[in-house]
A and B are shown apart, each in its own frame.
Chain A
């Protein structure tokens, strides 16, 4: 055996799996399909606006040619372009008229560099939802299975937040929360008075407001309130693979990293019921080679994990590896994005803030928790939000010229408050990733075909969330209240894609057991978003971290006891 363990993918899940496996003494190979990235030196986080080429704007023709899809992400600019794939080089297929926005980057660290760093626990309301209302299948775990792992990953990652004692959003091991500004505090007071069953809290985020000795030892420092996080942070102020899990794995001496290696297939030995080899194609030379290990963690992210499994056909698994249930690639979910409202907050014109806080506010889910549904829908949504005073950029769309305009822009604009909803998406078998029979990418991998639409429940949730956002701003005394988005975003826009290799009790209806282990292939573990049995309405990354750490330790235990 070359290695004890192979981890495919170096994003949030893969980084955690590699760290835990290495710390358990396992010789671990981390395979990343994209290029190598060096923490700090490859970031452009110390460039002032005037130092960025074209003040951060990516040339229009280049956007059209290479980043037609990726440029729809919130943070796409010349300093972050390196974290997004060229759509021209990495095509995928969707049915006519059914857009799926697949935003991704191929490089060491993956999307741990560009995530929004929002960190929330799932609750038993989430883990019990499928069983309660009959959509999808039951999760094979409950909150109690994960709570100590949430503790563990929060302490290591460093999560800033405020404890609220809410059943639907369990508290965690928090570093000092960041403060609400005056408009947000005002909104909180008014909303909680007019709607006592709703709560406003500061966004929980993986930022070091007060680094511990453990963080400092890894070379991380306090968040400097720059809000250039999406360029990569040289201070290690937020959690990423590169700032945290990778250095932790490396210091064990057990880690080997291979970049520019695209996993094509997992070879299956039916006699031993094991993956016998991980076959890769070199992204640069296109040469094939393979690696062996006792256990394989697939953390390639939801769609590529489905792609690899579906592409790994054998006599025993004609529909793809670990796919006896025919569930691989199905039940693709995201969160509904593109609902919300914005309004003007009267007053506080003599108040402002200093620094650039890298998180917003959160209104945790209330629908079907603290309040009954207002319509024919199940599940619910949360709102992310922010109060701020717009600066000069407000002027492109407002009339005004000359010294008067200049004088006006010297002061920040009036306060505004925005709410953006994130609604749960139900698992549906038809929302599906498949492989195209003929078309292949430049490396010979069959192209994925993504067919995913919102169903009736998602549209009902979105409609109610839109209405509630307007109502809440009006109730809080805002003026000029209007919708925040012109229309719903297509699925994928939340960049929370998940569900294509779900966990479950029953091997005939699920791919993974309660330890993220493939029912049919004992040495295969999958801990990226594809394991998710339902989507909840909380940002999912923290749950991937906890599941990855838990599964890695389970695998290490089983290997040690000779049961694997």
Chain B
């Protein structure tokens, strides 16, 4: 009695696969062509290319150091899930536009796409982009940055390895040396 449903699911899965492949193919050409004024926003929210962009922007914001970076903490996958299940259509468009704007900024400043530039250049791009958008109180960018932050610092890795988290503190100690506590608390 479920055959109808599972058939539909299979068909949807196939279609999703097709979209994924198309996105992948488009990505190869787009990365060499995108110029100021062009956009990659005309497609599903996460084509392979835009997901790659999301991964590298997140990792540039919160890179691997002595602890895991955004990718290893699962931030890009978290944001993809949030946009699919939590965000409104408006948010999906806004966040996609932020990613595209970073890519455009990379092209206009350095004449190459974000994904093909060296890591130091990516950092330069994000420093400039972040400073300008924060100074402008840009709501879409703040929402994006918040997604990266919550994705990282509220992940198990971010909360327990980068910061400090006790599910059950068991006590309140009101005033003690920071060195004794260690790092900032992951929850507030």
Residues on A with beta carbons closer than 8 Å to the beta carbon of B150: 55, 57, 393
B62 closest partner in A (C-beta)? A406
Residues on B with beta carbons closer than 8 Å to the beta carbon of A410: 162-163, 183-184
Docked-complex contact A49 and B172, CB < 8 angstroms: no
Counting residue pairs across A and B whose Cβ atoms lie within 8 Å, the total is 167
Docked-complex contact B178 and A393, CB < 8 angstroms: no
Q: A182-B175, A356-B187, A402-B60 are in contact. Are A393 and B149 (CB under 8 A)?
A: yes
User: Closest CB of chain B to A54's CB: distance in Å?
Assistant: 5
Docked-complex contact B185 and A412, CB < 8 angstroms: yes
**Among B60, B127, B169, B184, which residue has the most Cβ atoms of chain A within 10 A?**
B184
Count of interface residues, chain A, beta-carbon cutoff 8 Å: 55
Docked-complex contact A225 and B169, CB < 8 angstroms: yes
Docked-complex contact A48 and B167, CB < 8 angstroms: yes
Residues on A with beta carbons closer than 8 Å to the beta carbon of B78: 55
Contact with B along A218-230 (1 / 0, CB 8 A): 0000001111000
Within 8 A of A (CB), among B146-188: 146, 149-151, 153-156, 159, 162-163, 165-179, 181, 183-188
Please tell me if B111 contacts chain A, counting CB pairs below 8 Å: no
Docked-complex contact B159 and A46, CB < 8 angstroms: no
**Among A60, A227, A401, A402, which residue has the most Cβ atoms of chain B within 10 A?**
A401
Contact with B along A338-364 (1 / 0, CB 8 A): 000000000001111111110000000
Report the Cα distance A180→B172, complex, angstroms: 10
Residues on A with beta carbons closer than 8 Å to the beta carbon of B151: 55
Q: Residue A55 contacts which of B123, B154, B167, B175 (CB distance < 8 angstroms)?
A: B154
Docked-complex contact A352 and B178, CB < 8 angstroms: yes
User: Closest CB of chain B to A361's CB: distance in Å?
Assistant: 11
Within 8 A of B (CB), among A50-69: 50, 54-61, 64
Report the Cα distance A401→B145, complex, angstroms: 10
Q: A60-B86, A60-B91, A406-B65 are in contact. Are A391 and B149 (CB under 8 A)?
A: no
Contact with A along B77-93 (1 / 0, CB 8 A): 01001100111101100
Q: Residue A349 contacts which of B130, B178, B181 (CB distance < 8 angstroms)?
A: B178
4 closest residue pairs by CB, A with B: A179-B174, A355-B169, A355-B172, A396-B146
* Chain A residues engaging chain B, CB cutoff 8 angstroms: 46, 48-50, 54-61, 64, 178-182, 185, 224-227, 349-357, 388-393, 395-403, 405-407, 409-413
* Chain B residues engaging chain A, CB cutoff 8 angstroms: 60-63, 65, 67, 78, 81-82, 85-88, 90-91, 123, 126-127, 130-131, 134-135, 142, 145-146, 149-151, 153-156, 159, 162-163, 165-179, 181, 183-188
- 16 A-B contacts (beta carbon < 8 Å): A49-B154, A180-B174, A182-B174, A225-B172, A351-B178, A352-B176, A354-B176, A355-B169, A355-B171, A356-B185, A357-B174, A391-B184, A392-B186, A397-B134, A412-B184, A413-B184
For the complex with contacts A48-B156, A409-B184, 9 further pairs of A-B residues with Cβ separation under 8 Å are: A225-B170, A353-B175, A354-B172, A357-B174, A396-B146, A399-B130, A402-B127, A406-B63, A410-B162
